[in-house]
Each structure stands twice: as C-alpha cells, then as structure tokens.
Amino acid sequence: MATFQGDLPDLTQTAAPVGENLASVYIETYGCQMNVYDSQAINGLLEGAGYNIVQHDLEADVILLNTCSIRDLAEHKVISRVGELRHRRTKTEMPQPVIGVCGCMAERMGKDLRKGKRRVDLVVGVDNYDTLPGLISKLTAKTIPQHAHERRTVTGHRSDAHYVAPPSLYPINNSHLVTIHKGCDYKCTYCIVPYTRGPQSEKSPEAIIEEISGIVAGGGREVTLLGQNVTAYNWQQNMDFAKLVEEVAEIDGLERIRFLTGHPTDMHPHLMDTIGRLEKVCPWLHVPVQSGSDRVLRRMKRLYTSGQYLEMVDYARQAIPNVTFSTDFIVGFPGETEQDFQDTLEVTRKVKYDQAFCFKYSERPGVPAAKLNDDVPDVEKKRRLAELLAVQEETWNAVADTCVGQVWPGVVEGQAKHQSKPGQDDGQKGPFWRLRTSNNRKIIVSADELKIGAELKARINGYKNTSFLGELQD
C-alpha cells in the first residue's frame, strides 16, 4: 500500500471502509515518469482501501486520468479523452463512470475542470491523492448524501507529503521508479512545473533507502531515481545528490542505478566524478540543453551558457567511461532568431546526443515567458523543428555507424516489436527481445525465449532509428 512520509494532517477520515462491493477503478497516465510513479502510488492507495484496480476503461466505475500540463497539446488530449470516454459509455448503453482528473492539470485548472460540457466529477492535485479513497467512496455511494457534492476539487501543495509507491508494482523497462523529490525551485521562464508541482521538497534519505531496500528484497535489481531535477537534491542542505547516490549504491543486491532528470547547472565535477567512480551508476546523462544560444538561454533563465554546457559535457566524457547523453530542445522560443537557431544546431552537432526530444515552443498561461511576444510564426517553428530533427538524425547516424561490429553487454527488458524497413531484409527473424545497455542504448535481438533481467552480450549488426539490431553472443 502506498504511504506518506511526514507528519501530515489526517485527510483520510473520509476513506472508504475496506470491504465488499467497492468501486472498480481504471487509471490512465499521461506525461512523464513522475506521473507513472504517482499512478503506481494512487494504485497502491486505492487497493489498500479495498478498491479493485482494472486494466480497461469499460470495466471501471471510476476513471482517473493522471495528467500533464507541460504543453497545450497534452491538456487538449485529456479534454478530448474525457469526451471520448463519455461517448463510449453512451454508445455501449453502459452507465456513465465517475471521471476524475489528477496531477498537473488538476493543479493548474482546479475547479475550471468541473465546468462546461466536458466537465469531470473529481479534481485532485499532486499532493492530495490520499483523499481519493474517501472522495471516490462518496461519489460512488448508492445514496449520495447532499454534502457529497461539496468537495470534489482538492488541490494545493503540502511540502511534507511524499508518496511511496508499493515496491511490489511491476517495473517500467525492468527498472523500478523511485521518486526522490518533488517540485522545482528553478523558475525557467517557459515552465509550468514550479506552479503545478510546487517548490522543491525532498524525500528523506532514510525513506529512499528503505523504499529501494524493499524493491531489492522483492527481487528488483535496478532503480531509476526520479525527480523534476534530481541533481538539485539536497536533503536539509546536508546531503546532496552525489552523497545520496553513494548511499544508494551501498544497498546489497542492487545492481544498477539510473536517474532522471539532471539540470546542467547542477552537474558539478564532484557529481560527475562520483557517477564515474561508482560501478552501479549507469553512465547516461539526460541533461536538457533547451537551446544553444546564450541569448535565448538567458531569456529562458536556464542559468548556464552554451559554453558552460559544452564544458560540462567534456568533463563528463573524461570522468564517466562510456557516457552517453540525451537532451530536450525547445525551438521557436520568443525572440529566437535564425542565428540563435543555428547555435542550437551547432550544439547538437558538437554533443552528438543519443536522443533529443525536440518541441516547438508552446506558451503556458501564467508563466513568465507568457509575457514575451510569441513572435516566431508557427510555420517557422515547424521548419526549425524539422531541421533540428534532421541534424539530430544525421549526427546520430554517424555515431551509430561507429558502433557496428562492437559487442556490448545488456540486460533483457522484455519482448520488442521490430519490423524490417519495407524492401530491406535486415536478417532479423522474430520473436524479438529488447536489451538495454548501462548507457541506455537499446539492442533488439531475436531469440525464442529470454529471461527478463538476464545480462547477455550482443554483437551490433546495424541500427534502426535509435535502436541497435544485434545478435546474441555466447
């Protein structure tokens, strides 16, 4: 069962009695890995209160959408999903479910989600999931008392409330997610997260160690430490992320530690030295650069220049054997000129990222950048996005070419979908399995049966997009 860390006001008084005939709940997750973890925690909270978690929306009395506000498009998807879910029930002549919105959209839009044609029944923000059992109990009761309608929107930040997802929940890509802090104190001018997730607040090192020890006791061998900005972790100004990672690495039986997301400005040499020194820490850095132009970085309030970013990359390459990098880019930020954009392409060529998640700038209401003139026309944003993706692909292909013929160890994550490009037989025959190297590269191999979690070696024969095609070695 999910629990809370911290001395919290008791918000669970209305919790449903554990018992028979409680509602069945379907949870759908949007957005980042933090939301995936939160959904696991919600799952644990509801199962602990006796609710039945189901895997299909049509089986559910209650549907919870755990949402993301990072881009306009992400929010539109959820709104239209609400309409779709209602329509499916009407079409199949089934009773309408209770629909709830959780997560960042709940925090950003609050009561507004309860208005209009596509209104939802329940709105619960990121720090208030412990109220869900009680609220669902009221909303699904056969006789709904008058006061049940009073409190259907619960939002607001509680800095000492931290969820712990049940360690028994299955890992994502063979890695158990462990959120180590929430919120963010950096105020990048385009970003909604400090408003939806609130200020940074760390889970205690003791709680993190206990959670991971529970995962290892249950057979888990790999964790991904999660946070909006994990490298800013600093428990009571006394334990930074490097020290935390050292402590986690001491857990017997734990074999691999990954982490997401790092902020370039927190990638201090001593952290990179620690990552390079500890064998259990995987040599993969997801360090969003966002732009290659100092002028744009200043307007984004990213706290580094492109020169400092490239120095960090150079240092990491010295300190961390086999390190790979991935990143995020925003193109068409207000005021971005063609020269600024060319600077971004230059950084892409220099770093040679394994993966780049590239987006057009999307204005979020209420953030500082919303006051800037969104002056790059959409057609130009699209052109820059396409050019950036093309440069990334070209750069990546040159890196991937140098990998062909090498033999790499990787851990089996699960079965993989793979199809040869039309007209090109790449020699691969199914069934296919996906291995992941410690530096986060995917290798597709064919084999009848593989054991998930097994460490194997594969010879790299080629690649398709960002996945390598390999052949198992003895």
**Residues at the interface with ligand SF4 (CB under 6 A):** 184, 186-188, 191, 193-194, 228-229, 263
**Beta carbon of residue 32, minimum distance to ligand SF4 (angstroms, whole number):** 10
First to last CA, the chain: 42
CB nearer to ligand SF4: pick between 186 and 432: 186
Indicate the burial class of 328 (C-beta count within 10 angstroms; 0-12, 13-18, 19 or more): middle
- Rounded-to-integer distance, Cα 285 and Cα 324, Å: 6
**Beta carbon of residue 327, minimum distance to ligand SF4 (angstroms, whole number):** 12
**Beta carbon of residue 306, minimum distance to ligand SF4 (angstroms, whole number):** 17
CB atoms within 10 A of CB 432: 16
Residue 207 sits at the vertex; the CA angle it makes with 202 and 209, to the nearest 5 degrees, is 110
- Rounded-to-integer distance, Cα 470 and Cα 387, Å: 30
Q: Give SS3 for 291.
A: coil
CB atoms within 10 A of CB 462: 17
CB nearer to ligand SF4: pick between 133 and 288: 288
Tokens of 349: 């060529």
**Beta carbon of residue 193, minimum distance to ligand SF4 (angstroms, whole number):** 4
Element spanning 415, H or E: strand 407-416
**Beta carbon of residue 240, minimum distance to ligand SF4 (angstroms, whole number):** 16
CB nearer to ligand SF4: pick between 104 and 135: 104
CB nearer to ligand SF4: pick between 130 and 266: 266
> Amino acid identity of 90?
T
CB nearer to ligand SF4: pick between 99 and 367: 367
- Beta bridge partner(s), residue 366: none
**Beta carbon of residue 183, minimum distance to ligand SF4 (angstroms, whole number):** 8
Q: Give SS3 for 192.
A: coil
Alpha-carbon distances, residue 378 vs 314, 331, 369 (angstroms) = 35, 10, 17
CB atoms within 10 A of CB 165: 25
State the alpha helices, DSSP H only, in 241-325: 241-249, 269-277, 294-300, 306-319
Tokens of 218: 């249950």
**Beta carbon of residue 261, minimum distance to ligand SF4 (angstroms, whole number):** 7
**Beta carbon of residue 229, minimum distance to ligand SF4 (angstroms, whole number):** 5
CB nearer to ligand SF4: pick between 263 and 384: 263
- Rounded-to-integer distance, Cα 274 and Cα 272, Å: 5
CB nearer to ligand SF4: pick between 256 and 258: 258
CB nearer to ligand SF4: pick between 333 and 396: 333
CB nearer to ligand SF4: pick between 50 and 194: 194
- Rounded-to-integer distance, Cα 220 and Cα 294, Å: 43
**Beta carbon of residue 49, minimum distance to ligand SF4 (angstroms, whole number):** 31
